[in-house]
Structure 1
Amino acid sequence: MNKAIIFDMDGVLIDSERFWKQAENEVFTSLGVKVTNEYSKLTESMTTSEVTKFWYDKYPWKNIELRTVEEMVISRVIELIKTENCQIKGVKPFIEKLKTKKYKIGLATNSPDKIIPVVLEKLNVFHLFDSISSAEFEIKGKPDPAIYFKAAKKLGIKPENCIVIEDSYSGMLAAKNARMKVVAFTNGNRECDFEIADYKIENFNDKEIEFI
């Protein structure tokens, strides 16, 4: 029996991908970086430290440390999350119903640790999570499976008894490599390859919980 459900954050709990793109464009452009759609596509699955290093290697700037620039991006994203409407419809009641079925609930995200409480408080779901994990504290972020192994360990559940809800290929691959079942949250996305998922859901409505 599956005993834990682990959620990705960006694109699953909140519609925040656009915030990362906006912050990336604003911060790095201000440093003289020529942010292109082609290169931005490559940074989508990276951690913020990896993104910062990526752009620095392409267009090295002077007098500002990489960590400081990374913090500028994070601060801008936090500002946008706090001020913009970005909740994914139906996700809170979906998690609440999972809790009534006695599942442990985890969070595993490539986003920095300091963003997690901002998101969970905005959605008023902090109390519903049994563990939270950020790839900031792993050597590698998704698609490396380390973050999902860490999440399972924190929950006290074997990886094979965990279901992961993801919206990106790199996230699904990370979960698969951790020997977990994968539910793809498609949310109308026609560009992502969801074929490696065990199950797909378009939204968080009542009928979608029954398959679990």
Structure 2
Amino acid sequence: MKAVIFDMDGVIIDSEPFWQRAEFEVFSSLGVSLEKEFTDLTKTMTTIEVTKFWYEKFPWESNSLEEVEEMVISRVMELIGEIGAEINGIEFFIKKLKSNGFKIGLATNSPYKIIPVVLEKAGIASYFDSIFSAEFVEFGKPDPAIYLMTSKELGIDPENCIVIEDSYSGMLAAKNAGMKVVAFTNGNQDLNLSLADYKMESFLEHELTIFS
């Protein structure tokens, strides 16, 4: 393995509560009823996909889809800036990978403008050789395009890349790109591990033997 590519949400930062809060605040203000059976479906969608999803079910008149998407993104950025919530051990772990000669990439379904806020808050912005958001490709995860683009920019063949993911859709994207997958569980006992080549419970374990 020559490169390690990180997912962001749930791997670098515990951001799911931020997205849930922002989406609830914004969509509720527009008259959307966020029922749990539907919010479970939107967890792996991109921000614009989530916005379109709720608009189709509860159409509003006051704002465009782009404006509503921007409202959600801005609120998430505020919460990240105020609260943080980076995953324990992430800075040490990435520094160790860099010192061992790995190239480091990031591939996330989140909008690009959120990425610098997260990386700066976690103190790891300087370690990344490539950063990609799903907004640069036609389809987000589970489509493999974002991982293929990241490996191309890193200059590393997909078979020499290993991906750290915390969701089934992300792992599926990485496997379809021809990469090895580490399932980062972080206490999640319900994560489907069927696609994972390896499993990590925590970055505090420093399981660098996986990356040799």
TM-score of the two chains, using structure 2 as the length reference: 0.98
In the other structure, the counterpart of 2:91 is: 92
Q: Specify every segment of 5 or more residues in structure 2 that has no aligned partner in the other structure, as ranges.
A: none
Structure 2 CA distance, aligned partners of 1:192 and 1:140?
23
In the other structure, the counterpart of 1:78 is: 77
Structure 1 CA distance, aligned partners of 2:109 and 2:2?
23
Q: Specify every segment of 5 or more residues in structure 1 that has no aligned partner in the other structure, as ranges.
A: none
In the alignment, is the contact (CA less than 8 A) between 2:119 and 2:125 conserved in 1? yes
Deviations 1:5-49 (A, max 9, x none): 000000000000111111111100100000011100000000000
In the other structure, the counterpart of 2:209 is: 210
Deviations 1:44-85 (A, max 9, x none): 000000000000000000031000000000000000101114
Structure 2 CA distance, aligned partners of 1:12 and 1:33?
29
Matched, 1:108 2:118: no
Q: Secondary structure at the match of 1:157?
A: coil
In the alignment, is the contact (CA less than 8 A) between 2:7 and 2:165 conserved in 1? yes
Mapping of 1:1-212 within 5 angstroms?
Answer: 2-212=1-211
TM-score of the two chains, using structure 1 as the length reference: 0.98
For 1:6, give the aligned amino acid.
I
Structure 1 CA distance, aligned partners of 2:179 and 2:119?
24
Deviations 1:78-129 (A, max 9, x none): 0010111401000110000000110000000000000000000001111100
Q: Secondary structure at the match of 2:11?
A: coil
Report how many residues are paired.
211
In the alignment, is the contact (CA less than 8 A) between 1:94 and 1:206 conserved in 2? no
Distance 1:185 1:22, change over 3 A: same
Distance 1:195 1:85, change over 3 A: same
Q: Secondary structure at the match of 1:81?
A: helix
Identity %: 64
In the alignment, is the contact (CA less than 8 A) between 1:163 and 1:181 conserved in 2? yes
For 1:29, give the aligned amino acid.
S
Structure 2 CA distance, aligned partners of 1:153 and 1:207?
27
Q: Secondary structure at the match of 1:106?
A: strand
In the alignment, is the contact (CA less than 8 A) between 2:93 and 2:206 conserved in 1? no
For 2:82, give the aligned amino acid.
T
Structure 2 CA distance, aligned partners of 1:77 and 1:23?
6
C-alpha displacement of 1:206: 4.6
Instruction: Flag as ranges the 4+ runs of structure 1 deviating above 2 A.
Output: none
For 2:135, give the aligned amino acid.
E
For 2:100, give the aligned amino acid.
K
Q: Secondary structure at the match of 1:113?
A: coil
